Amino acid sequence: MLNTHLKLLESKLDRENLRKLAAIANDRLHAFVADAIELCRPDAVWVSTDSAEDIEHTRQMALRLREETPLGTRGHTIHFDGMEDQGRDREVTKYLVPKADMLSKALNQIERETGLVEVCGLLKGSMKGRTMVVRFMTLGPNNSEFNIPCVECTDSWYVSHSLNLLYRLGYEECKRLGEKAQFFATLHSCGKVDERMVSSEPDKKRIYIDYTTDTVYSVNTQYAGNTVGLKKLALRLTIRKADREGWLAEHMFLSGVHGKGGRKTYLAGAFPSACGKTSTAMLPGETILGDDIAYFRAVGGKCMAANAEAGIFGIIQNVNAKDDPVIRDVLTRPGEVIFSNVLVKDGRPYWLGMGEEPPADGENFSGVWHKGKKDTKGTEIPCAHKNARYAVALRALKNCDPELDNPAGVELAGIMYGGRDAKAYVPVQQSFDWEHGIVAYGASLETETTFATIGKEGVPEINLMSIQDFVAISLGKYIRNNLEFGKKLKNPPIVFGVNYFLKDRDGKFVNGVSDKHVWVKWMEQRVHNEIGHVRTPTGSIPCFEDLQRLFKEVLDKDYSREDYLKQFTIRVLENLAKLDRVEKFHRENVDDAPIELFAVLDSQRERLLEAQFRFGDMIAPDCFLHDDGKR
């Protein structure tokens, strides 16, 4: 017998699509779809299952309606976003907050009822003349305690195609769960589009998150970070779910790092966009389990981790054969890949930093392009956007970890936090304990704004845990949840801080792009307590002899004492200034910051001042004690 909402849908869907929807016995789902149809008024509704035919249909429709164009390599397509739709848009991405509730001042928000009226007004009738595509996907491995079912209604076949590559199919999982499926919902419309099928009213772009109903609304945008609801938009909802249930949802990659005797050690890493996250997850010779979002659960005293996603929506700038051979391989051989906002000439994609000279003309996100073309403000338009992307399924990568869909997840041994810090933190260091790592490296993560977020680039800012934009609970509670999570574990993952962007006095980086592989191998050996360390005021750093050996083993590169001093000399004044900025941020923006946070910062300040008194403002690593007690 049809429920009330399905009866309403009888007049909106044909028999076959009604049958597909009715097969999922979930009244809230049916209500969401019925309300979405009533609001957006599509001409037709198509419900996708997990069948190969349905998956291929969504790809073919993206091509047929010119939301994507085929490229010269089999399976490759190109999608363009508008000139003002090239990244996550902080200004128009807001939480819908009920009057009785309050989020941290650092988070962008609007009163719930006011926001709903605004965004629903923009969505009203937005799908006239189009088909609403109803997709079922999941976050986390299916049939697992990590799993979260999701539904997305969209009028973009490009968005639907992206879902195929980036997430696990969820129609059968939603059927299995039925009324038990507490799903996240996304409603998206491109809004008005121009002749290139690009959203044409960027001033009316809105991305609103209603955490009271686990629903995301997105309109007048196509950029995947704003429209693929399971991406960072769902992360905001997942953080609230994890908060209620006592686990962690993190903006982190997961990687399997090989060590002695054939072992594989799983490490996670949090980096803001364009700070080396994907390239660290994709180190040659190691395995990738995920490049963006990870879920952590305490199971039997162990930290078990799983990738929320099944694909990569990665920044393509600077992907080249030398630095990123695995990604370069999948981007240049036949297989299903969606490129976005690169330059196309004669069916071939070109991007910034690819290692060869691009042509002087072609088509890009601005339309027909030629070298020297300028925008309406007189600024020269590059051949490809800095935030140009590729979407590809993880299984397409030769180094995809075989545990990707393991329902139990994998045991996590280490976590790294990395940002853009030109002046203070050394390239790699180990925390003294879980609490120190979460505060000194995670909650103190400092970076610079990049092209991945719309707005001015190069502005220093605190981006705690690289997740600040996505935290839908108070920031203080989020930090406290991390601190408390460690207490549930018999042996918490070791926390490391990394910084690939430290510069010398002449403004040159003190380490090379490939050096990160050495830092990761050092972490892997520290996890197993195979090598020593030097204890400094900000954490434990590598011993020179170990780095000398690792640089030769990993990169076949000589490593000098001069390199070591440039990279691991402790800069006291810069570190003290960093502590001041971090403390100021938390006192001004985090209303309920844990007392433990300020205690950790105070202890670090005392250690730095004591070292400064003994050794001066620039302290060579040889001044500190090695783990064997010798100086």
Do 177 and 326 belong together in one domain? no
Do 92 and 228 belong together in one domain? yes
3-state secondary structure at position 120: helix
Catalytically annotated residues? 275
Q: How far apart are alpha carbons 101 and 87 in whole angstroms? A: 29
Question: Of 364, 396, 428, which residue constitutes the final position of a domain?
Answer: 396
Which tens digits make up the pLDDT trace of 315-324?
999 999 888 8
Q: How far apart are alpha carbons 91 and 247 in whole angstroms? A: 29
Of all helices (H) and strands (E), which one includes residue 435? helix 434-437
The enclosing domain of 69 has a CATH number of 3.40.449.10
Whole domain around residue 221: which residue ranges? 4-245
Q: Report if pTM > 0.85.
A: yes
Do 218 and 336 belong together in one domain? no
Contact (Cβ atoms closer than 8 angstroms) between residue 9 and residue 34? yes
Distance in angstroms between the alpha carbons of the first and the last residue of the chain: 79
Report pLDDT for 459: 64
Domain assignment present for 546: yes
Which tens digits make up the pLDDT trace of 14-42?
999 999 999 999 999 999 999 999 999 99
Do 99 and 158 belong together in one domain? yes
Q: Which two tokens stand for residue 243?
A: 């908060």
Domain assignment present for 92: yes
Do 52 and 92 belong together in one domain? yes
How many domains is the chain built from? 3
CB crowding 29-65: b at 16 or more within 10 Å, else e? bbbbbbbbbebbbbeebbbbbbeeebbebbbebbeee
Do 497 and 617 belong together in one domain? yes
pLDDT band at residue 458 under the 50/70/90 scheme: low
Do 387 and 454 belong together in one domain? no
Do 136 and 8 belong together in one domain? yes
Domain assignment present for 250: no
Q: How far apart are alpha carbons 237 and 210 in whole angstroms? A: 9
Nearest to residue 391, comparing CAs of 606, 534, 542, 228?
228
CB crowding 294-307: b at 16 or more within 10 Å, else e? bbbbbeeebbbbbb
In this structure, what DSSP letter does residue 199 have? Answer: B
Domain assignment present for 439: yes
Which tens digits make up the pLDDT trace of 340-390?
999 999 999 999 999 999 999 999 999 999 999 999 999 999 999 999 999
Do 359 and 422 belong together in one domain? no
Q: Which two tokens stand for residue 267?
A: 């490490």
